[in-house]
Structure 1
Amino acid sequence: MSSVQPPEDPAYDDRIYRSPMALVSGVLLLALIVWLCGDAVVRGHGNAPWYGVASALLAVPLVVAYTLRPAVFANEDRLRVRNPFRTVDLPWATVDAVRAGYSSEVLADGEKYQLWSIPVSLRARKRANRKGDGEKAGADRSVSELQELAERCARRQGAQGTVTVRWSYEIIAPAVAGAILLVVLLATR
C-alpha cells in the first residue's frame, strides 16, 4: 500500500496589488505626452522634432516607472515588489514584517523595502476608524493580507531562499538617453 501525502496548501496564482488611481493617471499622462511630443515631431520645424523625441524618450519611461510599473505580486512562495526602478524578490521565510504607517513597507533580512503600489491614505484610515465597524482602509487591508500570507507560508519548502534585487535598466536606460539627448540639444542651441 502506497502512502500519498496531501499537498501543503492549495496553489493559486499571484495576488496582484496595484493602485487604480496610479494606473488611470499613467494612461492619461502617456496620452498627453503622445499628443504634445507627437505634434512637435509631426508638425515641428527646425529642432522642434528632436526636442519632441528627446522629451518623449525622457518622459515616457518616467511616467511608466512611477504610475504603471509599481505592483506587488504575492503567491505561496514569495513576495515580488516591483517599484519604479527595481524589482525585489522576497521569499516568505526572509520576511520579518509587512506594515503600513505613513507608507507601506516590508521588512526582510534587516532591510526595508517600500511598497509603492499600496499607497497609504491617512484620510481613508481616519474614515474607517470613525465608522468603528472594524473595517480597515484599503492599504491596511492589503498589508494585513500580506502579513497573514507571510506568517502562513514562511515554513513552506518553496518559500526558502534569499532576497534578490534587480535594477530596472529597461526603465533607466531610455530615460537617461532622453535626458542626455535633451541636454545636448539645449547645449547646442
Structure 2
Amino acid sequence: MLQSKQLRKYLLFLVLILFLAVEVPIIAVGQLAKPEPGDVIIVLGAKLIGHEPSTMLRLRLDEAAKLYQAGYAPFIIVSGAQGCDEVISEAAAMRNYLIAHGVPADRILLEDKSFNTQQNLANSLAIMREHGLQRAIIVSNASHIRRALVIAHNLGMEASGAPAPMANNAYLTTKQYVREGAAMLALVFKQP
C-alpha cells in the first residue's frame, strides 16, 4: 500500500514536470515573440463560422492587418483549405476579411490547399520562393506561435512570430494551450 502511494506521487511529480517543460516554453514564446520586418506576413488558418472567421481567426487577421498597416511587410499570405464543414476555404474568408479591413487585394496571396500547420507553412514557403520573398512574419494566436516557429525553422524558413491575442474565454484558452502541448510533444517524437 505504501509503495503504491509513493509510486502515484512519483508519477504525478513526473507528469507535472513534463507538463511544465512543455507548457512553459509555449506560454513564454507566445508572450515574448516580437515580429521583425520582413517580406511577407503569413496568417495561419483556423475555423470558419459560415463565411466568416471564428473569433480566434479574427484575432489573427486583426494582428496581420495591423502589421501590414505599420509597414512590417508588403505582402500577406493567407493560408488554409476548405474543411469538410466549411462553405469556402479559410484562405478565401481571410482574404475577404482583410480586404474589408483596408488591405489591398493585390497584396494578398492565397494558399488554400493546407489542412494543418505543417502544410500551411510548407505551402506558404513555396509561394514565398515563387515570389522571391525571403523573410516571413508568422501570425497565429499566442498558444500556437512556438510550434509554428519550430516547424518554420525545420522547413528552413526565415521567420519571426507575431502572436495574436487569445480569445477572452478561459475554457477556450486553456483548451488551446493543452492542445498545443500535445501537438508539441507529437512534433518532438516525430522528429528524425
Q: What TM-score does the superposition give when structure 2 sets the normalisation length?
A: 0.28
TM-score, normalised via structure 1 length:
0.29
Q: Which has the higher Rg, Structure 1 or Structure 2? A: 1
Of Structure 1 and Structure 2, which has the larger fraction of its residues in helix? 2
